[in-house]
Chain A
Amino acid sequence: MKTCEKIREVLGHYVDGEGSDETRAAIEAHVCTCAECRCEVEGLRRLGDRIAIGAEVCVPPALWSRIETQLATAAPRHRFVRFLRVRSILAAAACLVLAVGGYFAVLQGLSTRAEAAPVDFSALLDGLSGDAENAFREFVERYRGRRVSSVAARQHASQLNFAVPEQLPGGFSLNEAFALQIGDTPAAAAIYRRNGEFVGTIFHRAIHPEDYGTYRDHPCVVGEHRGHRVQVGEWRLVHVTDATTCHCVLSRLDETKDLPAILQAVAPDFKPAADHSHP
């Protein structure tokens, strides 16, 4: 009887296929000679079977559509809210940059819709108050940037419309070019220098407002260059978008004097607008 009591304590273990071989062998030896414990084993097995019965379900056909819709709209909003709690100004600006870029793309009459993976600029923007170039490199690394030639960067992101010239207006020379991967979409980046002064460029697929759905809730910052920008200290991340490509330039350059020429150099179809208004 005492043996049965001890065995009963581990019969569930045994029925569930758990326990060491030695323990299982001992239980089996006992169960072979004990009708009550054998019945207990059968009872436990039947109980498990009864729990398993009724497990057939049909996943609602609309469930994925619901999830996909939320992924396209709600997820960036969640990210936005999280940014607001932690780093409100930077994050709002980051979302704004992306959102307005997409807005521009639509304004320019895109008829085809490309899927673009989210681009999270927070790491870059957060780092601008410290070492801006290091923050830029971390961003590049985050999106699996590898150093390549300017030609290779261009070929890597061949579906994008951008340029990586050896020289930028104002005397900046190309220092490094990178092939990036943002989601499944190739992207590119480059670093330029002028007497130690750093300028970074990033090119990625155009972002659509429906993918970032918060831009209408916030004031749109329109810079002098007729694109959109976020400013952190002396640094500005300027963002202009054409039909396929978002062109970002990180610099401390004057928006009215130096920047328009550089934007035109890296964004071939960029044309400063006479003015700009939002709906």
Chain B
Amino acid sequence: MDSRDHAPTLTEHELIVRCKRGDRAAQHALYERTSERVFRLLVRMTHSADTAEDLAQDTYLKAFSAIATFDERSAVNTWLYRIAVNEALQWLRRKTPVPLDPEVAAARADPRNNGHDPGAHLDIENALAALDPMDRAMLLLRYQEGLDYRAIAEVTEIAMGTVASRLNRARERLRELLRDFAPEREETQAEVRRISHGREGAARIAPPVEERAS
């Protein structure tokens, strides 16, 4: 019986059971369902499509070789994310730090900037790249992949109670990196100052920059 034709319609549990038997069609179906998420996460963790492809390959090979130990207490996506994040973190530990945008690196080295990122061209990717890898992973899992705190705790193996504080810290660090030049931050800060100084109605949230300019 060729299960390849039926694999795409199987439930997650049925797929897992078949994968545990070494069913290649089921493995392919599981890959089809999950690979975009895994690859997307790895691309933004490593900032390299080639590296992400290698790590995605390793992720699935490890997953399929260890799937007998997967007890389905978490979603298979969560389990795959955990393997992928571990692969990315190991790779990041082995490699030399990712070079930032040359202009940013130059500005950071400028003594007039007192060692801080002036951020003239520091976009969100560079800001993410400058974060601690685990903080980056947590932010990507939350905002890119939409995981809730419980799932993030499972992926990162960080205590559930610590996820919120780690995310707070990661967000603050990211905002520091973006501060004073990132439009959203500029906008927010400017608006906060304006409201604080009573120049606008207290109940009105700032409209977008373009709207204000018109």
Please give, as numbers and ranges, the residues of chain B lying within 8 Å of A39 by CB-CB distance.
Answer: 188, 191-192, 195, 205-206
List of B residues within 8 angstroms of A79 by Cβ: 65
Whether the pair A183, B23 counts as a contact (CB closer than 8 A) is yes
**A36-B24 contact given A51-B124, A70-B57, CB 8 Å threshold:** no
How many contacts A-B (CB < 8 Å)?
A: 127
Q: Is A55 in the interface zone, CB < 8 Å from B? A: yes
Which one of A18, A60, A184 contacts B164 once the chains associate, using CB atoms below 8 Å? A18
B residues in contact with A213, CB < 8 Å: none
Residue in chain A with minimal CB distance to B20: A183
Q: Does A156 reach chain B (CB closer than 8 Å)? A: no
Determine if B184 is an interface residue (Cβ-Cβ < 8 Å). Answer: yes
Return the chain A residue nearest B188 by Cβ. Answer: A43
Pick out which of these stretches binds chain A: B78-86, B103-111, B112-120, B139-147: B139-147
Q: How large is the interface on B (under 10, 10 to 19, 20 to 34, 35 or more residues)?
A: 35 or more
Of A50, A53, A56, A74, most buried by chain B (CB within 10 Å of CB) is: A50
Stretch at the interface among B8-16, B69-77, B87-95, B168-176: B168-176
Which secondary structure dominates where chain B touches chain A? Answer: helix
- B40 touches which one: A42, A48, A55, A183 (CB < 8 A)? A55
Bound complex: CA A221 to CA B205 (Å): 80
Is the C-beta of B61 less than 8 angstroms from some C-beta in chain A? yes
Known: A12-B171, A42-B205, A184-B21. A35 touches B195 (CB 8 A): yes
Chain B 7-47 against A: per-residue CB contact (8 Å), 1 yes, 0 no? 00000000000100111100110011001100110011000
Partner of B188, one of A12, A42, A118, A181: A42
A236 to B165, CA, bound (A): 60
Interface centre among A43, A51, A54 (most CB of B within 10 A): A51
A17 & B148 in contact (Cβ 8 Å cutoff): yes
**B181 within 8 A of partner (CB):** no
Note all chain A residues with C-beta closer than 8 A to B49. 57, 60
Q: Are A115 and B24 in contact (CB under 8 A)?
A: yes
Q: When chains A and B are docked, how far (Å) is the Cα of A234 from the Cα of B103?
A: 73
Interface assignment of A84: CB less than 8 Å from any CB of chain B: no
Within B107-166, the residues touching A (CB, 8 Å) are 124-125, 128, 139-140, 142-144, 148-149, 164
Q: Does A110 contact B (CB under 8 A)?
A: no
Given A59-B35, A59-B36, A60-B49, list of 4 further CB < 8 A pairs?
A40-B188, A75-B65, A79-B65, A117-B22
A interface, CB within 8 angstroms of B: 9-10, 12-13, 16-18, 35-36, 38-40, 42-44, 46-57, 59-60, 63-64, 66-68, 70-71, 74-75, 78-79, 115, 117-118, 181-184
